[in-house]
């Protein structure tokens, strides 16, 4: 049945390409989309054969053909660009028709996976819309009603929810064969040819990375893999979780790191864990995001993802999220055994690309308050549902970061420095950080005051200890789940936490902020502003959308003091402030996280520091609501904001007796026992 439908659909595509044009604008649109579909479907057999025989020359041609339209020289005049679509098709239809084409573009990834059914339903979506225009043309009515075309798109989003959620669950939590699995296990990784087998965009960034990885000796590859896999194992050990009941680990990585991934998978298998590898979501209807999860490559056009990030507004309503939650629950229930065996993600993060500042366009589809509220509700309920099947008290994770060649001419130097940062002396940092924690445990609050133009003046209230001999407020973070070493952190007490947090120039989740200011009262964001745009309204919208994730406010979920001065010096030496990942950047000064605590959904799991003291500051007055109203307890976001050492005047603890104990003064560690942290500054 699928095969017959597919043949009929591709024949109809051929007819569109040969039909005479009547309405220049819309006919040109349908011709452009049909040509893309023709290019991919016409290459299906060739792709399968090339993957089987490693015909790389054919796959290289596909890479050029399928991604050419995203490149800067062509995107501006593409119907993938809502601005161009509105210009050519009008305000009523432009953004919608662009959204349809954007959804069809997922076909490229599905072609490499051999998912004919997923390709077919998107072709049929396109053909149904084309048919609506043809019928209106033949009846002399001109264009079809906008509501009719929107209805077709909405039906597509609704009708395949069950299948989409099934695919989402199986790809994320179950071990299965796919293109990436075969590449990592079987491909010849000594050349760059295998990169083209993914069906993802392959640029000079991936090619240079692969070439560099091939210059590293086996010992270095093994060291990188061991740091990564041991961090995952230690994450279970440090939190008292039983890794022996787990059978799978989610392996996420940037394309080009396959040698490390292959070695890591071997190491994971030795401790009884099979790898779950999944492609970053290619479909907007299925949840494609600018920030990728899974395996992915260089984004050929981040503006494309930004332009379409709110396309879901076209079909998002109460009925939709209820049906989506039902489909999600059904998929989780069908795979509850696999979900129970899933241990959590192990992520190789990359950095190096220049920060992306999206262009604000009036033509793109925008959210509204009702949709934002529904989205927040869905995220909260879906997160709670997932936690019932992939239990927080039983899972862990690890993240490690490395640069890619996009970082510039000194890539090799920076890569070597990053390896050094990721493998710093565990015991040295553990002992120094314990000294800081012992001092912090004496405090009622911590005061952080900025300097050198930074206006930060924050007072962070601390949890009260019942038994200081057995309890502690801060976690001693060494090289386990968050690699590299270098921070002590806590969940602050919201009541009594107040002041101004100022970031002069910062990138959060890849988005830039100029003079970001957040004012807190009782631990909640009361006011916010930045200087990204000329108009205050645009700045506020930018912060609410990208930092508050459409919430009216967020709590201060974490306060930490970063101790990795080596990472800080490397950052300054190579001018990496704008591109260093938060994983490393958060270790280069005190940082504050807005959103959920670090112990989100795991507050009731007792965690211990290396000194065997129980970490008792795991919740706040917001997350405590999980006992009475789960929807109000979590925000499903956590964004770290770091104040670098050179913008610090002082960080000190205020004890119950009113004594002020300095930890950092004028950007240097002054607490006795921590002076060794200043050595990288002096070097």
Q: What pLDDT is stored for residue 586 in this prediction?
A: 86
- Answer for the pair 29, 79: CB distance below 8 angstroms, yes or no: yes
Model confidence at 644, in pLDDT bands (50, 70, 90)? very high
Give the SS3 label for residue 252: strand
Q: Are 90 and 147 in contact (CB under 8 A)?
A: no
Residue 458 CA to residue 450 CA, distance in Å, equals 9
d(CA 670, CA 662): 7
pLDDT at 37: 97
Determine whether 176 is exposed, middle or buried from the number of CB atoms within 10 Å of its CB (0-12, 13-18, 19+).
exposed
Above 90 in pLDDT, residue 22?
Answer: no
In a domain, 417, yes or no: no
393 plus 430 within the same structural domain? no
Cβ distance 415 to 223 under 8 Å?
no
Same domain flag for 174 and 48: no
Phi, psi angles (nearest 5°) of residue 103: -70, -40
How confident is residue 151, by pLDDT bands cut at 50, 70 and 90?
very high
pLDDT 10s digits, 427-449: 899 999 999 999 999 999 999 99
pLDDT tens column, 580-631:
888 888 889 999 999 999 888 778 878 888 888 999 999 999 999 988 887 7
As given in the structure block, the two tokens for residue 363 are 């033509």
Residue bearing tokens 């989506």: 324
pLDDT one-digit tens code per residue, 255-270: 999 999 999 999 999 9
Residue 608 is predicted with a pLDDT of 86
pLDDT of residue 2: 85
Question: Could you say which of 135, 159, 183 is where a domain stops?
Answer: 159
Q: How many CB atoms lie within 10 A of CB 241?
A: 22
Q: Is residue 411 in some structural domain?
A: no
What is the span of the domain harbouring residue 363? 170-399
Residue that terminates a domain, selected from 159, 182, 199: 159
pLDDT at 598: 87
Question: Above 80 in pLDDT, residue 20?
Answer: no
Domain final residue, candidates 102, 132, 159: 159
Using 50, 70 and 90 to split pLDDT, how confident is the model at 23?
A: low
Name the domain count of the chain: 3
Q: Which residue shows structure tokens 């407020």?
A: 473
Whether the predicted pLDDT of 239 surpasses 80 = no
pLDDT above 70 for 495: yes
Query: What average pLDDT is seen over the chain?
Result: 93
**Same domain for 134 and 175:** no
Strand boundaries in 509-600, DSSP class E: 511-521, 524-529, 556-562, 590-595
pLDDT at 480: 67
CA angle 34, 35, 41 (to 5 degrees): 85
With pLDDT > 70 as the criterion, what percentage of the chain qualifies? 99
Same domain membership, residue 657 and residue 538: yes
Same domain, 295 and 386: yes
């Amino acid at each position: 049945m699928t095969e017959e439908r597919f043949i009929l659909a591709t024949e109809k595509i051929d007819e569109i390409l040969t039909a005479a044009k009547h309405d220049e604008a819309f006919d040109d649109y349908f011709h452009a989309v049909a040509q893309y579909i023709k290019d991919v479907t016409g290459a299906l057999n060739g792709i399968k054969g090339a993957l089987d025989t490693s015909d790389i020359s054919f796959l290289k041609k596909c890479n050029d053909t399928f991604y050419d339209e995203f490149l800067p020289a062509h995107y501006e005049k593409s119907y993938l660009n809502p601005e161009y679509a509105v210009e050519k098709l009008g305000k009523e239809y432009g953004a919608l028709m662009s959204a349809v084409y954007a959804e069809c573009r997922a076909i490229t990834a599905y072609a490499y996976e051999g998912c004919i059914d997923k390709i077919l339903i998107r072709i049929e979506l396109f053909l149904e819309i084309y048919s609506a225009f043809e019928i209106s043309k033949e009846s002399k009515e001109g264009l079809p009603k906008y509501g009719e075309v929107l209805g077709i798109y909405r039906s597509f989003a609704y009708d395949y929810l069950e299948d989409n959620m099934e695919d989402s669950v199986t790809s994320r939590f179950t071990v299965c064969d796919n293109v990436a699995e075969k590449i990592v296990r079987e491909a010849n990784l000594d050349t760059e040819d295998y990169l083209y087998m993914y069906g993802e965009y392959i640029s000079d960034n991936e090619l240079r990375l692969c070439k560099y990885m091939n210059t590293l000796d086996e010992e270095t590859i093994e060291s990188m893999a061991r740091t990564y896999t041991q961090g995952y194992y230690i994450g279970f050990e440090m939190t008292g979780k039983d890794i022996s009941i787990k059978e799978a680990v989610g392996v996420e990585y940037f394309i080009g790191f396959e040698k490390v991934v292959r070695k890591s998978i071997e190491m994971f298998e030795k401790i009884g864990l099979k790898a779950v590898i999944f492609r970053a979501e290619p479909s907007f209807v299925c949840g494609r995001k600018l920030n990728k999860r899974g395996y992915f490559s260089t984004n050929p056009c981040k503006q494309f993802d930004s332009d379409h990030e709110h396309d879901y507004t076209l079909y998002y309503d109460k009925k939709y999220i209820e049906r989506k939650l039902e489909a999600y629950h059904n998929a989780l229930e069908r795979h509850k055994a696999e979900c129970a065996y899933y241990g959590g993600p192990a992520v190789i993060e990359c950095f190096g690309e220049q920060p992306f500042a999206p262009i604000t366009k009036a033509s793109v589809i925008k959210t509204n308050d009702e949709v934002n509220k529904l989205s927040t509700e869905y995220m909260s309920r879906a997160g709670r549902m997932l936690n019932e099947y992939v239990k927080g008290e039983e899972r862990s994770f690890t993240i490690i970061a490395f640069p890619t060649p996009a970082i510039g001419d000194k890539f090799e130097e920076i890569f070597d420095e990053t390896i050094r940062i990721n493998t710093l002396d565990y015991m040295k940092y553990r002992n120094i950080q314990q000294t800081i924690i012992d001092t912090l445990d004496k405090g009622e609050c911590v005061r952080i005051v900025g300097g050198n133009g930074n206006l930060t003046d924050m007072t962070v209230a601390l949890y009260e200890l019942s038994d200081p001999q057995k309890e502690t407020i801060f976690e001693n973070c060494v090289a386990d789940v968050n690699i590299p070493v270098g921070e002590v952190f806590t969940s602050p007490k919201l009541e009594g936490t107040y002041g101004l947090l100022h970031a002069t120039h910062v990138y959060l989740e890849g988005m830039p902020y100029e003079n970001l200011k957040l004012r807190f009262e009782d631990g909640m964001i009361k006011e916010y502003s930045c200087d990204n745009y000329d108009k205050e309204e645009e700045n506020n919208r930018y912060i609410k959308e990208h930092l508050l994730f459409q919430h009216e406010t967020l709590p201060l979920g974490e306060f930490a003091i970063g101790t990795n001065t080596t990472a800080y010096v490397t950052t300054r030496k190579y001018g990496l402030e704008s591109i260093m990942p938060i994983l490393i950047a958060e270790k280069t000064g005190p940082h504050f996280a807005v959103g959920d605590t670090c112990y989100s959904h795991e507050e009731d799991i007792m965690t211990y520091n290396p000194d065997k003291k129980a970490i008792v500051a795991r919740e706040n007055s917001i997350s405590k609501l999980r006992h009475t109203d789960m929807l109000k307890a979590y925000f499903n976001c956590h964004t770290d904001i770091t104040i670098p050492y050179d913008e610090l005047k002082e960080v000190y603890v205020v004890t119950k007796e009113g004594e002020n104990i300095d930890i950092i003064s004028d950007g240097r560690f002054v607490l006795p026992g921590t002076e060794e942290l200043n050595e990288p500054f002096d070097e």
